[in-house]
Amino acid sequence: MRVGIGYDVHRLVNGEKLILGGVNIDHALGLKGHSDADVLVHAIMDAILGAIGAGDIGKHFPDSDSTYKDISSLRLLKKVQELLLEQDYEVNNLDATIIAQEPKLAPYLAQMKEKIANVLNISIIRINLKATTTEGLGFTGNKEGIAVQAIVSVE
């Protein structure tokens, strides 16, 4: 068994969509990024890549490459899944925490889990997603951005 940790942050801005775990969330602000800025999926990808010793998402999907401009992060996760399978691993357990003052994300977590499980081709029971606020503290508390921490074990 191997373990990897992922962390990602994206800025909240006007005029962008808010996509987390492949789910489009109705909110006045969205996340800024080269791809669809799905901070949850980015942290998960980094955790998986870390677990298999394959670097990080910047190495595999650089923001200097126009191929990845506005791409769905679920498509990138599928590519990471293929790397995982090439090394004869599968995700055993995935746990992630979304850190955002708003919007409230509890109503979306089940749908996020389903989309991620489908891409990774694993049972939904191997995925745990949580959302928390920072009680108004820091950049997430000031509604300037959203952060995610993820840990993945692979076998």
Detail the residues annotated as belonging to a binding site: 8-10, 34-35, 42, 56-58, 61-65, 132-135, 139
Burial per residue of 56-94, b for 16 or more beta-carbon CB atoms within 10 angstroms, e otherwise: bbeebbeeeeeebeeeebbebbeebbeebeeeebebebb
Residue 93: closest CA among 28, 14, 26, 4: 4
Residue 39: count of CB within 10 angstroms of its CB: 27
Burial per residue of 104-115, b for 16 or more beta-carbon CB atoms within 10 angstroms, e otherwise: ebeebbeebbeb
The span from the CA of 117 to the CA of 144, in Å, is 29
Residue list for the binding site for a divalent metal cation = 8, 10, 42
The span from the CA of 50 to the CA of 52, in Å, is 5
